[in-house]
Amino acid sequence: MMEIILAGVVSLVITLAAGKLLIPALIRLKAGQSIKEVGPTWHKGKQGTPTMGGLGFIFGILLTLGVVYGLFHVSAPEVLGQQQMAAGMLVLFLAFGNGLIGFLDDFIKVVKHRNLGLTAWQKIVFQVAVTVGFMVGLHSLGLLSTSVMFPVAGMVDLGLAYYPIAFFGIIFLVNAVNLTDGIDGLSSSVTIPVMLFFTIAAMAMDRPDAAVLPAALVGGLLAFLRFNWHPAKAFMGDTGSLFLGGVVCGLAFALDIPLVLIFAGFVYIVETMSDILQVSYFKATHGKRLFKMAPIHHHFEMCGWKEEKIVLVFAGVTAAMCVLAWFGIAGLVG
């Protein structure tokens, strides 16, 4: 337990220090965010706010993992051994792979001074490569089970259908986390209870090796909120949000509890589905809209909600859904 607490504290301190140094550097580099023309008009005041701030908590997590693993020699239980430790490395591969895609996207935006970075096809190609690598790695370790525990129905073997479902599910949710990063502090605040859930779940499964990363991310995101809370002094950018998406998906699969993403990732899913439904309805009805603006956090903004209220409500909903997720896996960890 000490290593888990230390991971959160060390990450928090390092990310705070990194942010103090990083944000002035981003300002000097003129790494300001371009605001979409289709967004709420009052978001224009955020034009030029430094982006790529996610580098701060990513750096904090990297150093924290080195410190904690170095001091405590954290390892998986002997019955799991090197297999599960390798799975932890695959989680980092998925996280940093997506984070690198986000960094390239942000870098192009900053250099070209435009809101669009990588093209949609470029992002998809890179994400497909990273996701395939992650799944092949899990399969080679014998950790990609096609049997899934469903509530009421129990364990169901999906057979070959599991692989495309898992593949598209990972890409969908990674991008859903990215889409959630639309107002100050939202993606950070929603992801904190998700990481707390994974920390507790990993410890309950006797997997301290898998608990260090989400614990470090809790500390890192709490520290990042110091700079990202409204009015934000920095945005995490695609660098940070795609990294978070990789961690969320990677942990669920590494712990072999992918279905918890339906509950723990509820807000991410609703955000993305609201966008899909808005576009589909708009095209089907030749101009009518389901929401005042999508994704749904913008709808609530247009209804007069303050950014802080949206963040707190969405984080609260996520916390409640994480409790449901816990009951969903209680039989596996009891």
Tell me the pLDDT tens digit for each residue of 127-168.
999 999 999 999 888 888 888 776 555 678 888 899 999 999
Split at pLDDT 50, 70, 90, the class of 243 is very high
Is residue 90 within 8 A of residue 138, CB to CB? The reply is: yes
190 vs 279: CA distance, rounded Å: 24
Give percent of the chain above pLDDT 90: 60
CB neighbour list of residue 187: distance below 8 Å, 6 or more residues apart? 177, 180, 181, 236, 240, 241, 244
95-106 mean pLDDT: 95
Tell me the pLDDT tens digit for each residue of 42-95.
556 667 788 889 999 999 999 998 888 766 655 545 444 566 677 888 999 999
- The residue type of 104 is L
